[in-house]
Every structure is written in structure tokens, then in C-alpha cells.
Amino acid sequence: MNNQELNENMYDVAVELLSKNHSLNYRTKGMSMYPTLRPGDKAIVEKCEAGKCKRGDIVVFRQDNKLICHRIIKSDFRWGELSILTKGDNCRKADKPFTSDSLLGIVRVFERDGKQRSFDDNRHRISKFIYQNLPKSGLIYNRMHQLASRVFSSVTSLKRNFPMVIQNSEKLFWINAIISVLQGIFPFITLILIKFLIDVLTKQNESLNIWLLLTATAASYIFTAILNELKTYYFEKISQSVSKNIYQKLHQRHGTLPLSHYENPEQQDKIHRAVQEASYRPLKIVNAVLNGIKSVSSSAILLFLFVFIRWYLIFILIAAVLPGMISRIYFSQKNYRLKKDQSQREREMYYYNRILTGIPFAKELKLFSFMHYFLNRFRKVQNRLFEERLGLRRLEMRFGIASQIFAVILIFVSLAVVAFLSLNGMLSIGTLVMFFFAFQRGYSVLNEFFRAFTQIAEDNIFLQDFSEFIENEKFEKNIQPTESFILTKGISIRNLNFSYVNSTREALHNINLEIPAGQSVALVGANGSGKTTLIKLLCGFYQAGSGQILFDNKNANDIGQEGICRNISAVFQDFALYNIPAIENLYLGDFSKEFNEEKAREAAKTAGVDEVLSNLAQGYKTMLGNLFKGGEELSVGQWQKIAIARAIYRDAPLLLFDEPSSALDATSEQEILAKLREFSRGKTTIIISHRLSSVQWADKICVLDKGTIVEEGTHEQLIEQRGKYYQLYSASKSNGSK
Ligand code: ADP
């Protein structure tokens, strides 16, 4: 039995078995009951009366149809009923008390690694003793253990992720590291020189040459200043190099991301975090690692100084910074959890911001005056996000103040020790001055060290997300392509079913369609009948739930999305607008070959946009759109013609047109559709158009309804059938859309 969902029957059987003095095995999950029980242990559960259970006992009880294994921290009689308060060791909040009825039994023995262990060995006795007598310290022990394991896992995942950050910048990293080491050492060398200078001046040391000391001190100051300048320059260099590398990885990853990822909210959260964090986290982590290196070198020389003065003072110094470090590690985890929880709301806020500030929404925003609606939504989400963040900062501030006060007290204790030693003539004035400065610097060095350390731990959690996004194979749904095709035979769609990941409905159901090479098929049907979905599947953007798509008898899955798209030219309903020069807008259609201007102009002519482009200020070289200086904005219809020209320029064997004329006026539409018909002659073509009269020429017309092909044939055959197509056609005629 384990802690999965239970039904009444199973529970009753378990109770029955226990009442007959049988025992049950319970497989633990999570971090439950550390250090006594660990994940995967098999706990042997025996019957136990609720009234006889003591604090520290580990019991199994039922909560919301699950079996939970927890340790008792308190038993209470409330309103005449026994109420037992328990706590899972890794549980952050106190669990709900459970009643005696929900108690299944007690754990006295368990199995780990195939060996039976009882709670009688010393380790478990101690753990039970701690819980029975010092429940708070038991929890502290567990917290410390969790903290240590977090630190350990941070270090191991940093070892894995850091090389990815500094890839191609390794040399720069080492230059920065050497500068950091020197920066860590030199302030202390200056301090030592000043100590000797004071000793010479106060005549406590007469063996050293004052001029030599003065020159060395000045040189040390100059060198420190040079190091600072070098650091600024080389850090900028590594920052740029790391940024280039990270953005390259990010953009390459986006290029290979399946389309379904952009439609799944969870994946969108991941993408959002990766994109957002990519701009600064990697640099922060490089900075933190360099600061860590600097403070390690400072600490080494500091250790030497303290051994020279009084060795035990170093422990006071470490004790002073320890609480601050613990609280930072603790809060770094909390920060991450908060950020993760907030991902969706953050995206929501950015979305409202885009509506309130983006050009595509500006017209409707003014026309319908719904600015306040989105303003309110934006503010609501923003307030919630900010309040949550502030709440955490407040808590962090309280912990911070407490640890700083603790540190100051310890610093004064050590100052008192040194003052006492000096008053008794046990330390020279130079050493005293050196100590004051060394202690002050030492405090900030150690603080910096732990800050760097916790910063690394914090950034590393985010980096983990990023590297998962960049490298994780589990995202890769596309199988490595093993086949290619040039479409000489045709396309076969067999028993195809498909549902979107975020939907339970079938968008396509049992589609069977044969498209011989060189023939044209028109897909018609009401909105939402599955036409675009079929086109997207043909592009390889999604994989079929079941059934097959075959290009020249080769399975689409074996060809892969890239391989399929190489042979496709398409115009989508939601075509994109690129704010780049007109000529390059066409060239985007076939980047794999040298640019052919003649072919581009020909494509523009076929799409009916040649005249528009030629008449722009700088002709085909004019920047399109109004995002950048010198750009010229076009109408939506003209943009659509450019999208068509781009597809024509590509000149692939398979043409897919999804409402290619939706934004065109009636005359342009007729013209373009006629030209597309001409252009697609001899090429395999699939076209979707709401204007049924313009696709009559197709060799085959398929009528889709609720994801299924309900009719297929030529225009004449379908009209004769007097079915769905006839209805659609008659309706479009009476609407005057002919
Ligand atoms: P058509 O092109 O015929 O208008 P679509 O193929 O766009 O229809 O849509 C078919 C069905 O799939 C519709 O019910 C629609 O709600 C659903 N759908 C379309 N795109 C998505 C998507 N990205 N995620 C979930 N469901 C979708």
C-alpha cells in the first residue's frame, strides 16, 4: 500500500487486517519523517489506539482519501474528542489536526535497502527523544539538514550549469578571475604595509626603512587603483560575451521549440521565466562567482592576519556573519518559489501592459474607451504581485536586521578583546590599527563571501530553469528525421485524429484524404471545423494523435517538421508583418539560396504588390512599417499581398494557402485568387477560402464539419449532391460574396 488515492474498500480492508493483528506495508514518498524515515522506505504499520500514541511516534492516518505518514507533535482532547496534531518534517505549515477515527496505525519497524530496522537503534532513539522532549530542536535539526542538502545540490548544479554560461568566454573568465584574486589580496597588503609604517613611526620597529615602506605603500595604492580600472573593462567584456552566448542559445532554442509549447500555459511560464531571466541572471552569476573568488583570496590572507594577531578572533568573525548567510539561503529559496508562483500573474500583467501600450490595440482602445477596464485589471494584478513581493522583503528585512545586530555585538566583543590586549601592552599600535581595519574589512569580506555564495545559490536555481529550457531533451518531441521527400507521388492522410494539448475536444477526427502530386484541394467549412488545424498538421507543427500523414509514402514523423517545411510554401491567415526593407521581406521566403531580385519582382507582380513597392520613397529598398525611422506603413491588404509574394518567391512543390485573401478588397481578391490558380498549376496545392466561388477550380473540394470530412468531390459533383457544400455555396451566393 502506498500514499496514492484510496477508495473506501481499500481503507476498510486495511483497518480490518490491522484489527486482526496483521501488519501493513506502507511505502514512503517525499522527504517524510527525515531522519527516521526516508523516501522509499517500507514502513510496517501496526494497530494502535489513538489514546495510547505519544508525542514523537510516527503514525499513519487517512486524510482526503490518502494515507499520510506523520510524526505526532501534540495530542489534545477538544470538545470531548481526541485531536492529534502532527507534522511532516518537511512541512512548512502545521498540518490540520486529525481525529482518532482517521488513525490507521503506528510505525514501529521499517525496511530500508532490503534490511529491516527498528526504532530501537540509537539514532532513532535520539531522534524520538528530540521530538518527545525538544520538538522545536527536532525541527531545527531538520531545517539545518535541508539547508545543507540545498547548498550541496546548488554546488553540484552550478558545476553543471556554469560552463554553459561562460561558454566561448573561458579566457575572459580566467582574466577576470586573476584580477579578482589580486583585488582580494591587495587591500590587505596595503594594510600590512601601513601597520609596519606606524610601527616604524612610533619607534616600535626600527629595522625597516621608512622610505622603502612609503614607496611600497604608494605602489600598492596605485596597483589597487589600476586593478579597479582593469576590472571594469574586463567585466564589461565578459558581460558582452556572456550576453551574446546566452541570447544565441535562447534564440536557437526558440527556433526548435514545437508550436504546441507556445499554447501550453505551463510551458509559457517556463519560456517567460527563461526569457526574462536571460537578460541579467547569467551576468549576475558570473559577477557572484568572481566576487566569491575575490573574497576567498581575501579570506586566505585574512586568516593569516588573524593567526598573527589572535587566532580565536576568526571564529568570532565567522559567527558574526553566519546568521546572515543562513537567512540568505533560506530567502533565496523562498524568492524562487514566489517567482515561480507569480509567473502566470506576471505574464497576465505584461499582457495587459501590452494592450495598454501596444500599437495593435490602440485603435480599439480609443474607440471603445475600455482603457479603464484593462487599467483596473493591470493594477489589480500588479498590486497583488507587489504586495506578495513586499511581504517577503519585509520578512527578509526583519531577519536581516536581527542578524546585523547579532554581528555588531560580536564585533564589539572582539574589539574589546583586542583593546584589552593592547592596554596590557600585548599588541603594538601598528597591529592594533591593522586589527581595527582588518576586522572591519574582514567582516565585509566574509559577508561578501556569503553573499556571493547565497547569490550563486539563488541565481543557480533560475539558471537551472534556463538550462532545462535550453538543453532538456524532454522538450524534444520531434523525432530525429530519417527521411526526406520532394513530393513526386503525393500526400496520403490516413485515419488522422488530433486534439490540441490544452483541449479535451478532438479538433480532427478520422480524416482520410488522398492528394496526388500536382493536384489541388480546397478545404471548406464553417469556422472551427478544423481546416487550419489540418494545414498546421501538414506543416509538421504538430504530430498526429493517431493515424498517419504520408508524403510520397514517407511518414511525416520520420521527415520531421524542418524537413517537411523545406518543401512547403504557405500563406497563413495570421500572416506576420516584418518591419524590415520591402525587398528583404520577400527574400525571407527563401533564405537558403542566393537572393534573386528578378524572381522577387516577379513574385511581387504575381501578388499584385509590385506597383505599390516600386512607388515607395526608396522603391523596394524602403523600410516597411512604422516601428523604425524612415519606415512606410502599408494597409493590411498590402501586407497580405507581401506575405503572398513571399510564399510565391519560395517556389516550393507544396503550396498551402489559408485564407490568403481575407484582408483584400473584392477586386484584388478575385485578381489574386486567379493569379494563385495560375501559379499553382502543376503544383500540389491546398487552399482554404471562405469565398467558395473562388475555389471551384480545385480538383477536389473537401467539406469539413466538426473536425470530420463530411463531403468530398468536384464542385459540380458536390452541387449535385445537394448536401452541406450546396448549403454553404447557396448561402455565400445569397450573401453576395460571389
Ligand atoms: P477553422 O480553421 O476551420 O476555422 P481551426 O482548425 O482553427 O478551425 O479550429 C478547429 C478547432 O480547434 C476549433 O474548435 C478550435 O477551437 C480548436 N483550436 C484551434 N486552435 C487551437 C489551439 N491552438 N489550441 C486549442 N484548440 C484550438
Burial class (CB in 10 A: 0-12, 13-18, 19+), 617: exposed
Question: How many residues appear in the chain?
Answer: 738
Contacts by 503-511, CB closer than 8 A, 24 or more apart: 506/545, 506/707, 507/533, 507/707, 508/533, 508/534, 508/537, 508/707, 508/708, 509/706, 509/707, 509/708, 510/547, 510/708, 511/547, 511/707, 511/708, 511/709
**Sheet (strand 520-525) strand order:** 568-571, 654-658, 684-688, 520-525, 700-705, 708-713
Name the pLDDT band for 133 (thresholds 50, 70, 90).
Answer: low
Q: Give the closest residue to 610 by CA, choosing from 649, 656, 657, 659.
A: 649
Second CATH level (architecture) for the domain 3-135: Ribbon (2.10)
Q: Return the pLDDT at 418.
A: 80
The rounded Å distance from CA 499 to ligand 1 centre is: 9
Asked if residue 456 has pLDDT above 90, the reply is no
Residue-wise pLDDT for 153-175, tens only, equals 677 777 878 888 899 899 999 99
Domain ranges across the chain: 3-135, 160-343+393-472, 478-567+656-677+684-738, 575-651
Q: List, chain by chain if needed, residues with CB within 6 Å of any ligand 1 atom.
A: 263, 500, 502-503, 507, 525, 527-533
Residue type, position 379, single letter: R
C-alpha span between 396 and 631 (Å, rounded): 50
CA atoms of 559 and 665, how far apart (whole Å): 39
CB neighbour list of residue 488: distance below 8 Å, 6 or more residues apart = 517, 552
Nearest alpha carbon, ligand 1 atom 17:
507
Confidence of residue 88 (pLDDT cuts 50, 70, 90): low
Query: In angstroms, what is the span from residue 734 Cα to ligand 1's centroid?
Result: 27
CA-closest residue to ligand 1 atom 14: 528
Q: How far is the CA of 525 from the centre of ligand 1 (A)?
A: 13
CA distances from 338 to 284, 329, 344, 466 (A): 19, 14, 11, 17
Tell me the C-alpha distance between 681 and 694, whole Å. Answer: 15
- Atom 16 in ligand 1: residue holding the nearest Cα: 528
How many other CB atoms are found less than 10 A from the CB of residue 381? 21
Question: Among candidates 701, 709, 714, 640, which has minimal Cα distance to 676?
Answer: 640
- Ligand 1 centroid–CA 523 distance in Å is 14
Average pLDDT over residues 565-576: 88
Peptide bond into 35 cis (omega under 30): yes
Q: What's the pLDDT tens digit per position in 180-218?
A: 999 999 988 988 888 888 888 887 767 778 888 899 999
216: how many CB neighbours lie within 10 A of its CB? 17
For 669, the grid coordinates are: 481578391
Which whole number is the average pLDDT over 520-538? 93
How much distance in Å is there from the Cα of 528 to the middle of ligand 1? 5
Closest CA to 539 of 529, 551, 527: 551
113 Cβ neighbours under 8 A, 6+ residues apart: none
Which of 267, 500, 534 is the pocket-test mutation for ligand 1 (most atoms within 8 Å of CB)? 500
Of the given ranges (162-166, 248-252, 455-459), which has the lowest mean pLDDT?
A: 455-459
Atom number in ligand 1 closest to CA 503:
25
At residue 239, the pLDDT reads 93
Per-residue pLDDT at 478 exceeds 50: no
Checking if the pLDDT of 94 tops 70, the result is no
* Three-state DSSP state, 118: strand
Backbone dihedral angles phi then psi of residue 46, each to the nearest 5 degrees: -120, 165
Provide the pLDDT for residue 375.
93
User: Between 135 and 55, where is the model more confident?
Assistant: 55
Separation CA 14–CA 35 (nearest Å): 27
State pLDDT tens for residues 415-451. 788 888 878 877 777 777 777 777 777 778 877 887 7
Q: What is the mean pLDDT of residues 512-518?
A: 93
Residue identifier of the C-alpha nearest atom 25 of ligand 1: 500
Tell me how far CA of residue 325 lies from CA of 150, 151, 386, in angstroms.
Answer: 13, 11, 25
* pLDDT of amino acid 476: 47
Say if residues 117 and 110 touch (Cβ distance below 8 Å).
yes
Fold topology of 478-567+656-677+684-738: Rossmann fold (3.40.50)
- C-alpha pair distances (Å), 160 with each of 288, 347, 464, 525, 541: 16, 29, 9, 52, 32
Residue 695 CB contacts under 8 Å (≥ 6 apart), including other chains: 522, 524, 673, 687, 689, 701
Best of 502, 503, 692 for a ligand 1 pocket test (most atoms within 8 Å of beta carbon): 503
Instruction: Name the β-bridge partners of 107.
Output: 45
Residue 533 Cα to ligand 1 midpoint, Å, equals: 6
Residue 713 Rama label (left phi>0; alpha psi -120 to 50; beta): left
pLDDT (0 to 100) of residue 169: 92
For domain 575-651, the CATH superfamily is P-loop containing nucleotide triphosphate hydrolases (3.40.50.300)
3-135 shares its CATH topology with 478-567+656-677+684-738: no
CATH 3.40.50.261 fits 160-343+393-472, yes or no: no
Instruction: Please tell me the residue having the least CA distance from ligand 1 atom 8.
Output: 528
Residue nearest to atom 22 of ligand 1 (CA): 500
Q: Is the pLDDT of residue 737 over 60?
A: no
Residue type, 353: N
* Residue 10 pLDDT class (50, 70, 90 cuts): confident
Q: What is the pLDDT of residues 288-297, one digit of tens each?
A: 899 989 988 9
Say how far apart CA 593 and CA 407 lie, in whole Å: 67
Q: Is 144 exposed, middle or buried (CB count within 10 Å of its CB: 0-12, 13-18, 19+)?
A: exposed
Interatomic CA distance for residues 318 and 443, integer angstroms? 8
Position 92 scores a pLDDT of: 41
Cell, residue 447: 559577508
Ligand 1 pocket, mutate which of 262, 506, 533, 703 (most atoms under 8 A from CB): 533
Cα-based torsion angle of the residue sequence 362, 363, 367, 371 in order, rounded to the nearest 10 degrees: -10
- Residue 26's nearest CA partner among 53, 60, 55 is 60
Reading the block at residue 469, the C-alpha cell is: 529550457
Average pLDDT, the chain: 82
Å from CA of 711 to ligand 1 middle:
20
Q: How many angstroms separate the most distant Cα atoms in the chain?
A: 119
Strands 546-551 and 708-713: unpaired
C-beta separation of 37 from 110 below 8 A: yes
Closest ligand 1 atom, CA of 535? 6
pLDDT, tens digit, 9 for 90 and up, residues 315-346: 887 888 888 878 877 887 788 788 888 888 88
545 CA distance to ligand 1 middle (Å)? 15
Per-residue pLDDT reduced to its tens digit, 692-701: 877 888 999 9
DSSP string, 488-502: SSEEEEEEEEE--TT
